[in-house]
Amino acid sequence: MPHPHHGALGSSPVLLILTIFAVLVYLRGWLHIRSTSSNVIDTWRAGSFVLGIFAIWFALASPIAVWDQTLLTGHMIQHLLLMTFAAPLILLSEPVMLLLHGLPRRFVRSIIGPLFRWRPIQQLGRLLAQSALCWLAAVGALVIWHVPGAFTLGMQSKAWHAIELASFLGTGFLFWWPVVQPWPSVSRRPDWSIILYLFLATLPCDILSGFLVFSERVAYPVYLSTSGQSSLSVLADQQCAGALMWTCVTIVYLVAAAILSTGLLFPQSSAATKIDPQSVELL
């Protein structure tokens, strides 16, 4: 039976404090770059960061954090907010660069700079930037955590539930990294392989969501033990969760593919913000 612990993560004031701190540091860096650098960091990037951070907070601290104990739809909203919305919104904001500019310069030069230059960290960064690995990590997290046994473990254990949420967000960042290519990745012009990358990523989501929508049996019996819900309502909730996943993933990936395709077909009309490496000379 699900334990009433999942809301604890969101109710902790630590999460709210970290959220506010991240936004303030980012905005400080954004203002600093706009006032001292020739780079034009568009206002929409700051808005994208705030929206992404808010999506994480909403997934972990709003009633959604409690709904997933009784509704698969609540769990699905959590999953989508972290992997499909928060991750790309934050990456579009050039978070690494602006957060570095928002932190105290002495801290960046003495701690973060040497860490970035450490060879094992650079090798790890190159490894994690491989599109095949990013794709497999995201699909693996999606598939593994929706296996009934792993799903039930996450429902019944506070620690495993936290790991589940962290893996959704972490693999979400990995998945969108080759698509967005934020600094400090070596930016290259997207090619048609990224369109294929997005298309192939929809297939596991389509299979899972199709199963949830059309299955005539409850996939996750753990929800049957929730008081006040009958087997029929649990099945209807399962179908709603599957339909939500199917719709959101299809739309978001289609929009991303359309934007990239436009840039490939009309490169002159898709001038992206160029990040000058000298703007991070504080490292």
- The pLDDT tens digits of the residues spanning 9-61 come to 545 688 888 999 999 999 999 998 888 776 667 899 999 999 999 999 999 98
Binning pLDDT at 50, 70 and 90, where does residue 214 land? very high
Q: At 230, list the tokens.
A: 């009958």
CB count within 10 Å of CB 24 equals 11
The pTM of the full predicted model, rounded to 2 decimals, is 0.89
Q: Is 94 left (phi over 0), alpha (psi -120 to 50) or beta?
A: left
Peptide linkage before 184 cis (omega within 30 of 0): yes
Q: pLDDT tens, 75-122? A: 999 999 999 999 999 999 999 999 999 999 998 988 888 888 888 888
CB 123 within 8 A of CB 208: no
The pLDDT of residue 265 is above 50: yes
d(CA 119, CA 126): 11
CB 11 within 8 A of CB 61: yes
Q: At 15, list the tokens.
A: 């999460």
Helix axis angle, 192-214 to 231-265, nearest 10°: 170
Q: In 37-84, where does DSSP find H-type helix?
A: 43-61, 64-67, 72-80
The residue behind tokens 């299955």 is 215
CA triple 136-137-140, angle to 5 deg:
80
The pLDDT of residue 172 is above 80: yes
CA distances (Å), origin 189, targets 13, 64, 116, 192, 263:
42, 38, 24, 10, 9
The residue behind tokens 């978001």 is 252
Q: At 101, list the tokens.
A: 């500019």
Binning pLDDT at 50, 70 and 90, where does residue 184 land? confident
Write down the pLDDT at residue 8: 43
CB 163 within 8 A of CB 126: no
**Residue 24 is which amino acid?**
L
Q: At 197, list the tokens.
A: 């990358």
Sign, CA torsion 77/78/81/83: negative
Q: Is 181 left (phi over 0), alpha (psi -120 to 50) or beta?
A: left
Q: What would the mean pLDDT of 218-239 be, rounded to a whole number?
A: 78
